């Protein structure tokens, strides 16, 4: 049986550990063995999943699977990179994802409960999709992007890499979101957002 290691022993890491236990593959093909965290003040992890090492120095072995439970796209990149360089296997954790035909998802993603992806959408590596969020048909989402709970991305939209979409955001069909953009909670995005831009409101406007 494979051993799963979760990067992040903090609150979200513990949440993802519970999510893993809800996956039908848990206890059949793999089990959660431990957590990886570089913070010296976190030594115990959850009640039954110990902190066993630092993701920056962990020695990957072929029987291991890694999950990167960090909400910040840049931190997901930073702490997954040393393991990727060792050839680590990062799983897509998706115990209750509904995906239509033609959807492609690269590795390392986390898809919380009650998430939906429409037909022929394409998602990059390490996409994090929080609960009750919806991606429409023919959408492209770049790597390391975070999609907050109760968000909706309309059909044909293009979302870049390292984008942070906070909860309750609506992106209208066909809109393009540039790399590293941030979309504030509750925003309604009706037009393209340039790279490295933060927008907020209804309709969403650039924050100086």
Q: What is the distance of C-alpha 144 from the center of its chain?
A: 7
CATH of the domain at 155: 2.160.10.10
In total, how many domains does the chain have? 2
Task: Mark whether 190 and 101 lie in a shared domain.
Answer: yes
121 and 178, same domain (yes or no): yes
Tell me the pLDDT tens digit for each residue of 176-203.
999 999 999 999 999 999 999 999 999 9
Residue 207 lies in a domain: no
In a domain, 117, yes or no: yes
In a domain, 89, yes or no: no
With beta carbons less than 8 A apart as the criterion, state whether 67 and 7 touch.
yes
Say which residue the tokens 């992007």 belong to: 145
The enclosing domain of 65 has a CATH number of 3.40.50.20
Note the pLDDT tens digit of each residue in 11-24.
999 999 999 999 99
Is 189:205 a contact under the CB 8 Å cutoff? no
């Amino acid at each position: 049986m494979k051993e799963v290691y979760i990067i992040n022993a903090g609150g979200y890491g513990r949440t993802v550990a519970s999510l893993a236990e809800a996956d039908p593959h848990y206890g059949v093909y793999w089990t959660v063995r431990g957590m990886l965290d570089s913070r010296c003040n976190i030594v115990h992890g959850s009640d039954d999943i110990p902190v066993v090492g630092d993701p920056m120095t962990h020695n990957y072995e072929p029987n291991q699977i890694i999950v990167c439970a960090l909400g910040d796209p840049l931190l997901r990149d930073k702490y997954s990179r040393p393991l990727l360089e060792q050839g680590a296997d990062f799983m897509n954790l998706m115990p209750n994802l509904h995906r239509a035909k033609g959807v492609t998802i690269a590795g390392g993603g986390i898809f919380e409960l009650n998430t939906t992806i429409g037909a022929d959408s394409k998602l990059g590596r390490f996409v994090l999709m929080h609960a009750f969020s919806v991606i429409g048909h023919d959408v492209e989402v770049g790597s390391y992007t975070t999609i907050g709970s109760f968000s909706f991305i309309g059909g044909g939209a293009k979302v870049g890499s390292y984008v942070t979409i906070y909860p309750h955001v609506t992106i209208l069909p066909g809109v393009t979101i540039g790399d590293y953009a941030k979309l504030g909670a509750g925003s309604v995005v009706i037009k393209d957002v340039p790279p490295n831009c933060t927008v907020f409101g209804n309709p969403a406007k650039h924050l100086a």
